[in-house]
Structure 1
């Protein structure tokens, strides 16, 4: 395995040539020394449960995990709660098993870097201990009925991910000449055999029984099998898996849209599947087969998936939490770093640098410089020496027509936008068509909040329409459906996007028009209903900081009789109205302070029979227990027009001519007239 041998040599060369790589290797060594001293590096004899249940039932935040603890029966919330129970212990065991597999890979990497036999011994001990225990774990009796059951975990999916980490540690040790005794090798062989049997069986269920080959599960079952075949040097089996139904090439063709985004429309699952592809490609390379330039039947590729991430991120490298997925989570940051490092190494996609910098920041690096296992294994020796020192390249607007996303950017405007109009996304989709994410170069103001761990009872809220920046009717969520992009146009002067939905509600037509210029962003949202009865038409915005306005009168949400609650869903808490804006003439003005010296101004046109309110809501998915203040612009009737202007600097003024459907916008002494044409949409005149 000449290609395999170069993996260890590359790690060693990085450490010898590059100061950051030497620092990373020695830092990992010190981390492992501390864990060894704590006595926590002993594999549990119990299988893991479902990690999504590792969430506080009161605050809905992910529970804390201390890697230096060998065993635990009580679990701590960031707010001080202590919880106990079998489901929490099962979830904790998932973290523990995953941590120990990561330690095995990290120790193998440190051995390759520093040639200290103690770390080869640590890695080998963990691998052999797990190989010996794996046949003892039952096919999980406590897994939920919908799950494909694993042995070491409730889910076969979790098992496949864990196994790729453990086997990568094994093949790296073998690369470096570490010898396993006949007894140790026999245990490893039994483990690989059982793992292959289960992964092949589950592929059969997904691909043939459920006709669900595009599932993200499949990519990980493939990756686990690729690791098995690479460990056993079975090139023929691996090549067959590349070409098989549901295999590497087929999954790339059906699991990724032609515009290079994973089919569920979730950024998290995009990274998730891309990481599985990269592990498969790494194992294929060890068997002498290069998959890094592979393409799906419609041009889908790992390079294209990397470039899509580079386009989606905000100016700080933060990836939007589209549909299901966390906004920020340490294991996710590590996954992003692993993917982004390889995107730089294999494809030189420099747009990944801000994403990599942000991932390392979330992993604990104050300035975003390289740190941790991902840097040691995959950090490029040529493309980027230190991601924290590389400025972000300017980017233009972008339409993903197959996936249903559009981004608007203008080089002279610190504001930009992202809108979701595409397919629902299946099990990981949200009821959020025409959702608007508003970004500033310093911070995203109104993000998509992603979702809490699935074990939280608050999970439904994060999928509802009213938790997104779009329109709902009568407090009810949209139907699962696909919207459309009617018009997308980018010129030197502006970017214009006209997004439409006619299936969100029966008899409802939703049109969102977004016009971004060098000075401002205009959001013009029109709703037309053909129903016999008037309905409450509700425009929602969920900023991460509360609006400030002289026109805002605060209400006491304790007085629910005078200031009613917004009822969203029978299984969710009602939302209290906490403020009301009193318009001066036609418009309301408000500001958002993102940080010192950085503000966004918003001007809202409040027409007769409309009201603009502030509503207290659940917080974002990182910590839902810290409430946020949402804007609710609403009107009873069959037609509604919601017009909002965002800008940086002084306030804007509106003049509206309803007969001509024409809006005059005065900004910094300059007036621009915008006309709504039924055929062409928004036109600047």
Structure 2
């Protein structure tokens, strides 16, 4: 498909996918502190901010010093004072692409087949542009998400009219026209970018003149565009204006030395287009927002392209500049604060563009440790097949970092590898290029001459504590890896979903029960379904969605024989204890969800949205009345159910011979439902099967074996309840014994456990475990019948415990939160 093979033809699609969900940023907007006369004279309150923040920075980047303020000064230029490595003016180009990189690209075009082919594609597109009407639209752009049918289906432009393929109607109106103009202006920007890039490589003045003509038209018109509600003039959103300005400024820099470009024309473009755009963006500052990352990139690029280094410095060191975002918007583990990989990637792109532009002016932004981590995170976070989880407002469902090349560098590790020489990046690029030819701006201009051969870097279980998400993986190699993610952290601002303790599952080489992502923000299902709790693999209480909540993960273990996580989100529903545990074994994952409220009885619904054809051994019948109303329940179709289920039961989602089996172990009578609901957000109007377990009462425990399978004839795992707090799971690998009782709060008491035995043996931890805690902090454990167990792990409330001995032998321990884990040798 074009998106896979051609970065520029894919540009419009990629840009729309990643820029649609930005109309509801909740960051407070304040006036920019800079004055017009001196952009580095700042308000007095910023001096206090600078002083308070100076010591918070993790490292001082190479080439920078700590802030130095004149005696008695009440203002500061920046958090760091730059020590410029080069003071002389750089030869052009010197914005996004530098002189040295352009020379390198020309050599590659002359000597390397892939580079020659890339230039041929640029030339082919440029030649096509020359045949088109070169007049830009006279009106400003609206918001691309307005260009949709009533049901959210994208409109189609046919013979000057706007056609809806779902209802077969023609649409009209000012808002529809404005939405279409966003596409029109995006296309003109794309043309300028491609024409300028092709010209820089082959010197064809016809390309340069065509691009200059488009720039001059924009310079003529920009002053007449009115200010719009979301801060832009040329576009409805200042975000979209910044994104397009980045490409215009880079293109202008590549065209600057063209003999056909007069000084008067350059002056007009700079004074009537670029500087006014920079001012528009400066008048609309955002806090720790992806919008601000793009604003900074555009302001910095304009500064570099127009030889106004003060604008570049402002983009780096200003109150909302690069280092502010590194400090406030990038969390300690390197994840962008909004909590989805789509936003992480979307913010990383302008940060990279600014860093690369700044490198041509003597600044090294790559030296920031958090910035490096931002490149690491997508590789550490992705499913084993490199598709990115789509949690929260996660952008396009099913997006992978291996199957396309972006002109803006989304998920493109060519630049990152050339800067950091990370062997993990090298291995990823080799993996990517098994299926794709090397191509694109980032490879051509910034890529290394050669990519070192590198072995696969093991991708291990990971807890991202600052964003509040955790991933268990087994084994460490991606080829046969199972993956489960739990989201327990911050809500995510306006882009968060009501989905605490959501489970996201991959196995058998495919997505099994993933987060379905987010459609366009104007799609009616966006708020009605995709943000609601019931659309996620978690528990809905009383048929209504969670409150905005931040949970916790008291225990995370990636021990070889104890891959386990225990998450809580007790603020999701007032008065409700809300906790989930996941154990990962060779053949399955055990999922244990507990919800309880001592004061009230509730309806507890645990949903599991799987992919594939669904079947169950529960005799379900069509319902006389729907499962619920509101909160997303209205979107369910083909509802079936059965009540009073007290024994273990199984279900299965099949995807052509592989898929997901489940086995549910009731702790109380339950109702079981199946229905069809909206599925992956890439096709929001298509239905997929969901299974719901329902318990009414003060409390409920849902215990489910989740078993990925790649062979439908492989033995199915089953299980049974053992005592009040235990279960046994049986598979071809033997019997596994699990225990959970976090309501036990006394120090030294058993709260969780796991062990393995021969197939078919029962083990009751309550009956076989005794403990005594000495004043010196030694926990002595008597574990009866321990000889039948192996690979045992015991978890206790830590209290004052310093060591643990089991049946007279000291066990290795590790602490997590308020708990201590003891591991059998």
Query: Fold-level match, TM-score > 0.5?
Result: yes
Q: CA deviation at 1:521?
A: 1.0
* Structure with the larger helix share: 1
Aligned residues: 641
Q: Distance in 2 between matches of 1:195 and 1:432?
A: 39
Deviations 1:636-668 (A, max 9, x none): 011111111122342012121233x22111101
1:492/1:459 Cα in 2 relative to 1: closer, same or farther (>3 Å)?
Answer: same
Q: CA deviation at 1:357?
A: 9.3
1:584/1:200 Cα in 2 relative to 1: closer, same or farther (>3 Å)?
Answer: closer
Q: Secondary structure at the match of 2:226?
A: coil
Paired residue for 1:196, among 262, 273, 278? 278
Note if contact 1:358-1:368 (Cα within 8 Å) is conserved in structure 2.
no
User: Is residue 172 from structure 1 mapped to residue 246 from structure 2 by the alignment?
Assistant: no
Could you tell me which residue of structure 1 aligns to residue 420 of structure 2?
347
Could you tell me which residue of structure 1 aligns to residue 821 of structure 2?
none
Q: Secondary structure at the match of 1:663?
A: strand
1:24/1:555 Cα in 2 relative to 1: closer, same or farther (>3 Å)?
Answer: farther
User: Is residue 272 from structure 1 mapped to residue 346 from structure 2 by the alignment?
Assistant: yes
Q: 1:121-160 to 2 correspondence within 5 Å?
A: 121-140=209-228, 143=229, 147=230, 149-160=231-242
Could you tell me which residue of structure 2 aligns to residue 363 of structure 1?
none
Note if contact 2:330-2:336 (Cα within 8 Å) is conserved in structure 1.
yes
1:565/1:589 Cα in 2 relative to 1: closer, same or farther (>3 Å)?
Answer: closer
Could you tell me which residue of structure 2 aligns to residue 604 of structure 1?
664
Q: Distance in 2 between matches of 1:263 and 1:446?
A: 25
Could you tell me which residue of structure 2 aligns to residue 683 of structure 1?
754
Q: 1:60-99 to 2 correspondence within 5 Å?
A: 60-63=152-155, 72-77=160-165, 82-99=170-187
1:380/1:605 Cα in 2 relative to 1: closer, same or farther (>3 Å)?
Answer: farther
Q: Distance in 1 between matches of 2:397 and 2:224?
A: 35
Larger Rg over CA atoms: 2
Q: Distance in 2 between matches of 1:331 and 1:198?
A: 34
Could you tell me which residue of structure 2 aligns to residue 44 of structure 1?
137
Once the two structures are overlaid, the 10-residue window that deviates more, 238-247 or 335-344, is 335-344
Note if contact 1:651-1:667 (Cα within 8 Å) is conserved in structure 2.
yes
Q: Distance in 1 between matches of 2:335 and 2:273?
A: 35
Could you tell me which residue of structure 2 aligns to residue 210 of structure 1?
none
Q: Distance in 2 between matches of 1:268 and 1:163?
A: 21
Q: 1:246-325 to 2 correspondence within 5 Å?
A: 246-295=320-369, 300-301=370-371, 303-325=372-394
User: Is residue 220 from structure 1 mapped to residue 305 from structure 2 by the alignment?
Assistant: no
Q: CA deviation at 1:62?
A: 3.7
Q: 1:384-399 to 2 correspondence within 5 Å?
A: 393-399=457-463
Note if contact 2:469-2:489 (Cα within 8 Å) is conserved in structure 1.
yes
Q: Distance in 1 between matches of 2:586 and 2:154?
A: 41
Paired residue for 2:628, among 551, 566, 572? 566
Deviations 1:167-195 (A, max 9, x none): 11111223x65552133213211212211
Could you tell me which residue of structure 1 aligns to residue 700 of structure 2?
640
Paired residue for 1:484, among 549, 552, 577? 552
Q: 1:399-418 to 2 correspondence within 5 Å?
A: 399-411=463-475, 414-418=481-485
TM-score (ref. length: structure 1):
0.86
Give unpaired runs (5+ residues) of structure 1: 207-212, 361-365
Q: CA deviation at 1:336?
A: 5.8
Paired residue for 1:425, among 492, 508, 511? 492
Q: CA deviation at 1:115?
A: 3.3
Q: CA deviation at 1:579?
A: 3.2
Note if contact 1:75-1:88 (Cα within 8 Å) is conserved in structure 2.
no
1:457/1:280 Cα in 2 relative to 1: closer, same or farther (>3 Å)?
Answer: same
Note if contact 1:586-1:654 (Cα within 8 Å) is conserved in structure 2.
no
Could you tell me which residue of structure 2 aligns to residue 28 of structure 1?
122
Paired residue for 1:525, among 593, 598, 602? 593
Q: Distance in 1 between matches of 2:179 and 2:428?
A: 29
User: Is residue 650 from structure 1 mapped to residue 715 from structure 2 by the alignment?
Assistant: yes
Deviations 1:556-593 (A, max 9, x none): 5xxx6x25243233x87342453346899732222333
Paired residue for 1:674, among 738, 742, 746? 738
Note if contact 1:537-1:636 (Cα within 8 Å) is conserved in structure 2.
yes
User: Is residue 7 from structure 1 mapped to residue 93 from structure 2 by the alignment?
Assistant: no
Note if contact 2:613-2:653 (Cα within 8 Å) is conserved in structure 1.
yes
Give unpaired runs (5+ residues) of structure 2: 1-89, 743-749, 756-791, 793-825
Q: Distance in 1 between matches of 2:425 and 2:683?
A: 27
TM-score (ref. length: structure 2):
0.72
Q: CA deviation at 1:353?
A: 7.3
Q: CA deviation at 1:220?
A: 1.5
Once the two structures are overlaid, the 10-residue window that deviates more, 325-334 or 182-191, is 325-334
Deviations 1:153-172 (A, max 9, x none): 11111111110111111112
1:640/1:490 Cα in 2 relative to 1: closer, same or farther (>3 Å)?
Answer: same
Deviations 1:73-111 (A, max 9, x none): 314547866543332322221122122212211222222
Deviations 1:276-309 (A, max 9, x none): 11111122122222212124xxxx22x1011011
